[in-house]
Amino acid sequence: MGTVTTTQLRSMYEDMVTARYYEERLQEEYMEGKTPGFDISAGPIPGELHLAAGHEAAAAGVCAHLTDEDTVTAPHRPHHIAIAKGVDLKRMTAEIFGRETGLSAGKGGHMHLFDPDVNFACSGIIAQGCPPAVGAALAAMKRNESSVAVAYLGEGAISQGAFLESLNLASLHDLPVIFVVEDNDWAISMPKGRISVPQDGSKRAAGFDMPGVRIDHDDATAVYEAAAEAVGRARDGNGPTLMSVQVHRRMGHFMGDPETYRPEADQQRHQERDSIERLAADLEAAGVDEDERETIREDAHARVDDAIEWAKDQPEPEPGAALEDVFSNPPSGVTDEDPTPEFAGNGGADR
Ligand SMILES: Cc1ncc(C[n+]2csc(CCOP(=O)(O)OP(=O)(O)O)c2C)c(N)n1
Ligand SMILES: [Mg+2]
C-alpha cells in the first residue's frame, strides 16, 4: 500500500463518510416543498444543488496532504472538497440554507463557499478556480512560503481557456500548484467523448511541459499516493502537476435532473465499486475493523446532523443586507470627501 499510514487512511475515511452523509441529508432538506411540480425556488434550500456522491476519493486523497495555509479552489460541485479541506461545517451549512451566519452571510449559496480561515473558495463558473489558484501559488512563491494551491475542475472544463492559460503560467513560472480533474464522464448531459480531445484530461500536461498523472478509478489510496508526489514536488519548488482522477457521478447533474440521457448500464457499472467500500477494504487490511469504522461513521453522522440542526436555527438575513457588501471599499487614500481630480465635477460623464 505504499506510503499511506493507517492514521491517514482513517482520516480519509472520516472525510468521505462525512461528505456522503452530508449530501444525503442535504438531499432530504432540499426536496422539502419542491414537489410535486419541482419548484426549484421552494423549500429551505432554494436554487440549484449539485451533489458529489461518488467523487469523494478525489477530495480526500489530495486534501490529506494540505494544511490550512494551502489554497483550494473548487467548482460548482464543492461539498466533498470543502469538507476534506476543513471548511467549518456549521457555517458552510448555514450558507447553503441562506442564513445570516453563513460563510458569506447567506448570499453565496452552495456554489459560492468562501472560507478564508482555511483558504477555500469555489465558483459556479467552470474552470474559474484555476486562475485564482495560480495567483495563490505565485503569491506563496513571491513570499518564500512553502504553501501550495490546488485547483479542482471537471473533465467538462478541460478545454476552457481559463484552465489552459493557467497551465501555461503555472509551468512557465514553476508555480506550486496542482490541477485536479474530477473525471466523471459527464458534463451535465454531455458524455466526455463529445466534448474534448483528448478525453483524458491529464494528457493536457504534455503540451505545457509538466507531469500529467491519471488515476483510473476512484480509489482514495491511489489518489493519496499520486498526490503525495504532486504536492511534494510543488512544495519543493519543482513546479506544477496535473492529475486526472476517474470518479463517478452517482446522482444527476443537479437535484431534479431526470437523467433521461443516461444509459442505465452507466450507473450500474460504477455503483458496483463504490469508493467508500474500496477504502473500507484498505482499512480492514490495515487492521481497522468494521466496529471501528462504524464508530467513525457514527461520529461523522452526528457532526453532520448537528451542523444541519444548527444551521436551520440560524436567522435569515435582513432584506436590507442585500445592499451591503456589493462594492468593495475604495483603495486606501481614496475617500468620498477627497475625490481624485479626474473624477471630480461631472462625475466623469464627458470622458
Ligand atoms: C463558463 C461556464 N460555462 C457553462 C457553464 C454551465 N455549466 C455548469 S456545470 C457544466 C458542466 C460541467 O461539467 P464538468 O466540468 O465535467 O463538471 P461536473 O458537473 O461533471 O462535475 C456547465 C457547462 C458554467 N457554469 N460556466
Ligand atoms: Mg464531469
Q: Distance between CA 337 and CA 38 in Å, rounded?
A: 51
Residue 111 contacts residue 102 (beta carbons within 8 Å): no
What pLDDT score was predicted for residue 200? 95
Q: Is the CB of 208 under 6 A from ligand 1?
A: no
* Residue 333 confidence (pLDDT) above 70: no
- Residue whose Cα lies nearest atom 16 of ligand 1: it is 156
- Using most ligand atoms within 8 A of CB, pick from 49, 50, 56, 76 the residue to mutate for ligand 1: 76
Please give the domain boundaries of the chain with CATH numbers for all domains: 6-259+272-321 (3.40.50.970)
CA distances from 345 to 242, 333, 334, 349 (A): 52, 19, 16, 9
C-alpha of residue 162 to centroid of ligand 1, in Å: 13
Residue 273 contacts residue 68 (beta carbons within 8 Å): no
Confidence of residue 37 (pLDDT cuts 50, 70, 90): confident
At 11, the amino acid letter reads S
Q: Is the CB of 157 under 6 A from ligand 1?
A: yes
C-alpha of residue 331 to centroid of ligand 1, in Å: 34
What pLDDT score was predicted for residue 234? 98
Residue 78 contacts residue 112 (beta carbons within 8 Å): no
In what helix (H) or strand (E) does residue 72 lie, and over which residues does it extend?
A: strand 71-74
What pLDDT score was predicted for residue 266? 86
Q: Distance between CA 178 and CA 222 in Å, rounded?
A: 16
Q: Distance between CA 23 and CA 304 in Å, rounded?
A: 9
The three grid cell numbers given for residue 219, joined into one nine-digit string: 480509489
Confidence of residue 331 (pLDDT cuts 50, 70, 90): low
By percentage, how much of the chain surpasses pLDDT 70? 93
In this predicted structure, which of 90-99, 239-248, 260-269 has the lowest mean pLDDT?
260-269
Q: Decide: helix, strand or coil at residue 205.
A: helix
Q: Distance between CA 44 and CA 24 in Å, rounded?
A: 15
Q: Is the CB of 156 under 6 A from ligand 1?
A: yes
Q: Distance between CA 253 and CA 106 in Å, rounded?
A: 23
Q: Which strand ranges, in their side-by-side order, compose the sheet holding 71-74? A: 114-115, 120-122, 71-74, 149-154, 177-183, 241-246, 212-215
* Residue 344 confidence (pLDDT) above 70: no
Atom from ligand 1 closest to the CA of residue 52: 21
In what helix (H) or strand (E) does residue 223 lie, and over which residues does it extend?
A: helix 220-235
Q: What's the mean per-residue pLDDT of the chain? A: 93
Residue 17 contacts residue 297 (beta carbons within 8 Å): yes
The pTM is what?
Answer: 0.93
Each residue of 147-185: b (16+ CB within 10 Å) or e?
bbbbbbbbbbbbebebbeebbebbbeeebbbbbbbbbbb
Ligand number nearest CA of 52 is: 1
By percentage, how much of the chain surpasses pLDDT 90? 86
Q: Is the CB of 124 under 6 A from ligand 1?
A: yes
C-alpha of residue 164 to centroid of ligand 2, in Å: 17
CA distances from 91 to 31, 49, 83, 104, 122 (A): 21, 17, 12, 9, 15
Q: Is the CB of 155 under 6 A from ligand 1?
A: yes
Give the range with max mean pLDDT: 241-245, 265-269, 336-340: 241-245
Q: Decide: helix, strand or coil at residue 69.
A: coil
Sign of dihedral through CA atoms 198, 261, 17, 110? positive
The three grid cell numbers given for residue 245, joined into one nine-digit string: 482522477
Write the pLDDT tens digit of every residue in 11-34.
999 999 999 999 999 999 999 999
